[in-house]
């Protein structure tokens, strides 16, 4: 018959196992995030500075692209991802709105609020950078879904910021272009390639 001590011991052991499992899951999540980021174009990549063209073909390739971008966005723990960030120069982006995955093709802002707000913004293509960017607090977008059907959506709050950020990507515009000079200088210092020990310092 187990003593009280044995019982406690068993309990502690289970708790340790649960903790180990939680830590392992967290490590895997972090590993997935880093792999996803390695598949997303990073600052310095010319694709991030190019203007994307309209989507014209609504085929299986497009559906696969949307699926791949959605998975990548989640694995990178982001809330939006534009096609230029995966090197595809077409006008589409995926984003999360109220826990729902969304996609918008050939998007355009048709109305935007007079009211704007400046808040810190990050980007999956600019690792380690967080700079204040002024955005409209409410926007109405028109575009197409992945089947080519017309979509009109009114977005406000944090998601309004996300869609304005992603739309910028399709025109080769990044958050460092939209922030103040001091924040831009700080961001560029963060983004400067770090010299690798034993290798020639990159210029």
The residues annotated with a catalytic role in the active site are 166
In the range 122-181, which residues lie near Zn ion by CB under 5 A?
A: 123
Q: Which lies closer to Zn ion via its Cβ, residue 43 or residue 146?
A: 43
**H-type alpha helices, the chain:** 4-38, 60-75, 158-169, 175-178, 181-191
Work out how close the CB of 86 gets to Zn ion at its nearest, in angstroms, rounded to a whole number.
Answer: 12
Three-class SS state of 167:
helix
Size of the site for Zn ion (CB under 5 A): 1
**Residue, CB closest to Zn ion:** 123
Spatial CA neighbour of 171 closest among 84, 111, 102, 109? 84
| Furthest C-alpha separation in the chain | 74
Q: Which lies closer to Zn ion via its Cβ, residue 52 or residue 123?
A: 123
The encoded tokens of residue 158 equal: 């944090």
The encoded tokens of residue 130 equal: 């967080």
Work out how close the CB of 168 gets to Zn ion at its nearest, in angstroms, rounded to a whole number.
Answer: 8
Work out how close the CB of 170 gets to Zn ion at its nearest, in angstroms, rounded to a whole number.
Answer: 11
In the range 111-130, which residues lie near Zn ion by CB under 5 A?
A: 123
Q: Which lies closer to Zn ion via its Cβ, residue 42 or residue 113?
A: 42
How far apart CA 53 and CA 40 sit, in angstroms, is 19
How far apart CA 41 and CA 116 sit, in angstroms, is 29
The site map against Zn ion for 73-112 (x = CB under 5 A) is: ----------------------------------------
Q: Which lies closer to Zn ion via its Cβ, residue 84 or residue 106?
A: 84
How far apart CA 83 and CA 102 sit, in angstroms, is 14
Contacting residues toward Zn ion, per CB under 5 A: 123
């Amino acid at each position: 018959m187990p003593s009280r001590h044995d019982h406690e011991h068993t309990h502690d052991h289970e708790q340790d196992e649960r903790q180990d499992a939680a830590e392992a899951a967290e490590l895997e999540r972090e590993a997935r995030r880093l792999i996803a980021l390695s598949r997303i174009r990073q600052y310095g990549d010319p694709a991030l500075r190019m203007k994307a063209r309209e989507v014209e073909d609504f085929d299986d390739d497009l559906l696969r692209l949307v699926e791949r971008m959605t998975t990548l966005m989640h694995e990178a723990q982001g809330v939006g991802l534009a096609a230029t960030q995966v090197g595809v120069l077409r006008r589409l982006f995926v984003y999360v709105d109220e826990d729902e995955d969304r996609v918008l093709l050939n998007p355009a802002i048709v109305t935007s609020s007079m009211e704007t707000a400046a808040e810190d913004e990050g980007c999956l293509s600019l690792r380690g950078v967080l700079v204040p960017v002024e955005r409209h607090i409410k926007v109405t977008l028109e575009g197409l879904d992945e089947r080519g059907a017309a979509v009109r959506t009114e977005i406000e709050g944090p998601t309004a910021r996300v869609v304005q950020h992603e739309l910028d990507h399709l025109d080769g515009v990044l958050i460092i272009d939209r922030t103040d000079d001091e924040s831009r200088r700080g961001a560029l210092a963060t983004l400067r390639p770090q010299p690798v020990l034993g290798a020639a310092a990159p210029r």
